[in-house]
Amino acid sequence: MTATLPANPPGLPGSGPSPSGGPIVSARRLTRHFQGRSRGGGRTTIRAVEEVDFDIEPGTIVALVGESGSGKTTLARMLALLHPPTSGDLVVAGKELPRRQRDKVRYYGNVQMIYQDPFASLNTLKPLRHILGRALRIHGRAKGRRNERELVAELLAKVNLTPPEQFVDAYPTSLSGGQRQRVAIARALAVRPRLLLADEPTSMLDASIRLDILNLLRDLRDSERVAILYITHDIASARYISDRIMVMYGGRIVEQGPTDDVVQNPRHPYTRLLVASAPDPAHHKGSGLNRRVQVVGDAEPVDVSQEVTGCRFAPRCPFVMDRCREQRPPLLQVGDQAAACWLLEDEQ
Ligand SMILES: Nc1ncnc2c1ncn2[C@@H]1O[C@H](COP(=O)(O)OP(=O)(O)O)[C@@H](O)[C@H]1O
Ligand code: SF4
Ligand SMILES: [Mg+2]
């Protein structure tokens, strides 16, 4: 890790205007490699996240979208202090990542996680008052038992588990998946975080209640002014909930910008593929371009154990040129969007 970044670094492609106070997260050249096995079986370096640059502004929902293996969880795990970055800068709430245990506790007062599996993430042997009370106590949010009980009831109400009296003494085992995920969200909110990391938070829930959880996250963005990194492979849900979208492919951010711009006018061929294959009939009309990308999109997921000098999407891209195999495209800005594709060079 190198020197602290300025709170609001200028000129990041696709980052858009920044309100005062600076971003809650600033990542520059953020990289995480793993040692692992290649598809051929030999030892190799897995480039899970490679030199990503992004900002997250307070009180906004940023969706991180990409297919399985693109590096989304690894990126979130760096923010959750579960994987130290291999290199690059990561500044959260104006500070570099903490190393000492005491500083980590303080860090988790700002940054909280919501996991994919609400069945595995809660202690089933304890009632909700204990699960939520413990989170309040660890971060010194409750003053005495009575205050703790009040705050627990408040948290349950915030996530629409009402009336709270009906839930305080309940155990997770008596709750549905959706209710458990609400408890996990309430536990994350107990510390009044400034950033929630939500890694596929609805993928293990019944389709019928996914929208309720997305609506809850959106309401919390507004009522708590919490920023949310919403991770998904489904661009339709990203479109529904987010203010901005970052598209990841093969460990790199290949497109970012305001949600409406990215979805209505995707610039990167891979984003076009995602939009074209989303379950929105409007996107299947017309464009032969989308059909062409879709056809090549059925290829194998990208192998990040191979180093490439050019664009990682080249083997799947219908627009590939010689140059794409030789030179890696940087994020190029067009309007409020930015995409890592040589096709944008003429539009700049
Ligand atoms: N702990 C690990 N050790 C080795 N390889 C890993 C580890 N975690 C993730 N990877 C690899 O890093 C790449 C990105 O994985 P991941 O971040 O889980 O992607 P996503 O969440 O987008 O599916 C994949 O190739 C995955 O196999
Ligand atoms: S840089 Fe070339 S290969 Fe990569 S997405 Fe753009 S056109 Fe396709
Ligand atoms: Mg993942």
Residue 7 lies in a domain: no
Residue nearest to atom 27 of ligand 1 (CA): 69
Q: What is the pLDDT of residue 13?
A: 56
Asked if the structure places residue 40 within a domain, the reply is no
Per the domain annotation, does 340 fall within a domain? no
The angle that helices 144-158 and 177-189 make with each other, rounded to 10 degrees, is 130
Per-residue model confidence (pLDDT) at position 149: 94
Find out whether the beta carbon of 337 lies less than 6 Å from any atom of ligand 1: no
**Are residues 317 and 258 in contact, defined by beta-carbon separation less than 8 angstroms?**
no
Which residue out of 38, 46, 115, 248 has the highest number of ligand 1 atoms within 8 Å of its CB and is therefore the one to mutate?
A: 46
pLDDT of residue 3: 34
Question: How many domains does the chain divide into?
Answer: 1
Does a structural domain hold residue 231?
yes
Q: Is residue 249 part of a domain?
A: yes
Residue 245 falls inside a structural domain: yes
Which residues of the chain carry a pLDDT beneath 70?
A: 1-20, 279-300
Neighbours of ion ligand 3 (CB under 5 A): 73
- The boundaries of the domain holding residue 299 are 57-81+99-308
In a domain, 283, yes or no: yes
DSSP3 helix / strand / coil % (the chain, rounded to 5): 35, 20, 40
pLDDT the model gives residue 41: 80
Q: How many CB atoms lie within 10 A of CB 122?
A: 21
The CATH code of the domain that includes 238 is 3.40.50.300
The verdict on the CB of residue 46 being under 6 Å from ligand 1 is yes
Please tell me the predicted confidence (pLDDT) of residue 209: 92
Q: Where are the alpha helices (DSSP H) in the chain?
A: 72-79, 101-108, 128-138, 144-158, 177-189, 207-224, 235-241, 259-264, 269-276, 288-296, 322-326
Is 13 inside any structural domain?
A: no
Name residue 80's amino acid.
A
Q: What is the structure's pLDDT at 280?
A: 56
**Which protein residue has the closest C-alpha to ligand 2 atom 6?**
341
Q: CB of 69 closer than 6 A to ligand 1?
A: yes
Q: CA 151, CA 133: separation in Å to the nearest integer?
A: 8
